[in-house]
């Protein structure tokens, strides 16, 4: 393939993704607007007129911001790829620091950092204007910037040694480097699953055991009944940043942990919280984390193999203004461009995730011996978070990791 036709193809792929994203946002907005006038029959008695109208406004505002963000990011990506700034930075780095793995890892990290900067203004606007307007924001400016600094230190501290290791493996292991790099990445990922809940999450939030009382007793009883180690039920101070509420399950084996946001505990009644815990225990019992990890490991194996192939193609380098030879531009370009391909596979991943949600819901209904508590919890969660109750089916099919409220209620009623 010639360099020019490759540049044209890549540009086409980038624009196709942009067009699909904007089209989906507009499709969804039209669908929501058409139903915004009155509460649809399916939600009468579930959500009041004012909350429903507000959730439609919130959905539309988020959709508009998403369109701006998608368009802006696409323009930035095209500029970065085709103005020659990347090869210029790369050779400047090579001249200044040499081409050792240690220097090249700095180059990749610095480039990633610089490329994340254009996102900052829109992220800031989202938190302090949009979320604020709908009453969700509780983050202070200080906390927001502190979070970003901590993220930066963490990404550098963890990313740098990992990048050096991958680049060294390329030097040491020759043609099979991608398999070795994959093994190293997988080891790192597994280590993170174990360490993140213990070492990283506490850098951002406070985790406390559930306080004594009737709620704790009820949840302990449920944990006992399902043979879940209750020590790992914790409360997180989510209210420090946002009024959005949530619960999640993380880690595996002896390191698993179920986390309930303090905002969730304020919003739900005790049986509803028990149902949410049962749902999370369901994820654990059905081994959803190891399954998801295995799937993502297969994806990264395919990705690294692809990098190893691209790194041998001179035309691939020339299309973006690089001289063939070093693996570093291939890694960088792959990092920038993999999204234009994986985007089209994301509905598959989301479909799989929704299947897991249905399974965890069914487990919860079975443990609770009734679906009503879980339905009550889901209704409140959707209401308090101003979730879009009427997404366009194509939109939710493409993007949603969780089924909609109506889909979950119907599945629970049928169970």
Which residues are annotated as catalytic?
280, 361
CB of 283 to Zn ion, least distance (A): 6
Write down the least CB distance from residue 210 to Zn ion, Å: 19
Compare residues 275 and 360 and give the one whose CB is closer to Zn ion: 360
Residue among 258 and 330 whose Cβ is closer to Zn ion: 258
**CB closer to Zn ion out of 357 and 383:** 357
Interacting span for Zn ion (CB under 5 A) from 109-117, 213-221, 309-317, 350-358: 350-358
How many CB atoms lie under 10 A from the CB of residue 130? 17
Distance CA 315, CA 3 (A): 5
Nearest to 87 by CA among 319, 321, 364, 318: 321
Task: Rank residues 165 and 278 by Cβ distance to Zn ion and give the closer one.
Answer: 278
Q: Are strands 233-236 and 207-209 parallel, antiparallel or unpaired?
A: antiparallel
> What stretch of H or E contains 258?
strand 257-261
Residue 210 and residue 222: Cα distance in Å, rounded? 14
Q: How many residues bind Zn ion (CB under 5 A)?
A: 2
Q: Rounded to an integer, what is the distance from CA 398 to the centroid of its chain?
A: 14
Please identify, among the stretches 15-23, 152-160, 291-299, 360-368, the one whose residues bind Zn ion according to the rule CB under 5 A: 360-368
Q: Give the shortest CB-83-to-Zn ion separation in angstroms.
A: 43
Q: How far apart are CB 359 and Zn ion at their closest, in Å?
A: 9
Would you say 307 or 377 has its CB closer to Zn ion?
A: 377
Residues in the chain: 415
Supply the DSSP string of 356-396, one letter for each residue: HHHHHHHHHHHHHT-SHHHHHHHHHHHHHTT--SS--HHHH
Q: Candidates 89-97, 101-109, 293-301, 356-364: pick the segment binding Zn ion (CB under 5 A).
A: 356-364
- Stretch near Zn ion under the rule CB under 5 A, chosen from 174-182, 289-297, 302-310, 352-360: 352-360
Distance CA 10, CA 14 (A): 6
Nearest distance from residue 364's CB to Zn ion, in Å?
9
Q: In the sheet that 247-250 helps form, which strands lie side by side, from edge to edge?
A: 207-209, 233-236, 257-261, 247-250
Q: What is the pattern of x (binds Zn ion, CB under 5 A) and - over residues 306-345?
A: ----------------------------------------
Q: Which residues bind Zn ion (CB under 5 A)?
A: 357, 360
């Amino acid at each position: 393939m010639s360099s020019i036709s490759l540049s044209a193809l890549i540009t086409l792929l980038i624009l196709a993704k942009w067009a699909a994203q904007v089209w989906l946002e507009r499709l969804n907005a039209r669908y929501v607007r058409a139903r915004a006038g009155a509460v649809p029959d399916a939600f009468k008695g579930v959500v009041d007129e004012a909350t429903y109208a507000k959730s439609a406004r919130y959905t539309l505002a988020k959709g508009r911001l998403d369109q701006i963000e998608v368009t802006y990011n696409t323009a930035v990506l095209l500029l970065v790829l085709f103005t020659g700034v990347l090869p210029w930075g790369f050779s400047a780095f090579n001249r200044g620091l040499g081409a050792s793995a240690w220097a090249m890892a700095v180059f990749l990290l610095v480039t990633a950092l610089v490329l994340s900067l254009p996102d900052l203004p829109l992220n800031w606007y989202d938190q302090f204007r949009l979320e604020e307007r709908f009453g969700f924001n509780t983050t202070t400016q200080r906390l927001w910037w502190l979070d970003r600094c901590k993220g930066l230190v963490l990404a550098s501290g963890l990313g740098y040694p990992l990048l050096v290791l991958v680049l060294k493996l390329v030097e040491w292991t020759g043609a099979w480097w991608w398999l070795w790099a994959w093994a190293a990445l997988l080891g790192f990922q597994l280590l993170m699953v174990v360490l993140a809940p213990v070492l990283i999450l506490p850098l951002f939030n406070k985790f406390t055991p559930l306080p004594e009382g009737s709620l704790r007793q009820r949840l302990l009883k449920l944990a006992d009944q399902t043979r879940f180690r209750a020590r790992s039920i914790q409360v997180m101070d989510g209210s420090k940043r946002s009024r959005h509420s949530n619960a999640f399950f993380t880690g595996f084996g002896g390191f698993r942990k179920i986390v309930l946001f303090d905002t969730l505990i304020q919003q739900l009644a005790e049986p509803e919280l028990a149902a949410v815990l049962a749902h999370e225990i369901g994820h654990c019992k059905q081994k959803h984390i190891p399954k998801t990890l295995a799937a993502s490991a297969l994806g990264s194996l395919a990705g690294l193999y692809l990098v190893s192939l691209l790194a041998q193609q001179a035309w691939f380098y020339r299309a973006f203004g690089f001289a063939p030879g070093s693996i570093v531009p291939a890694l960088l370009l792959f990092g920038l461009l993999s999204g234009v391909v994986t985007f089209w596979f994301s509905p598959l991943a989301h479909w799989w995730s929704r299947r897991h949600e249905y399974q965890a819901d069914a487990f919860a209904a079975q443990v609770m011996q009734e679906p009503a508590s879980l339905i009550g919890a889901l209704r409140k969660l959707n209401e308090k978070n101003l979730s879009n109750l009427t997404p366009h089916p194509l939109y939710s099919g493409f993007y949603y990791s969780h089924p909609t409220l109506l889909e979950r209620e119907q599945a629970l009623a049928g169970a």
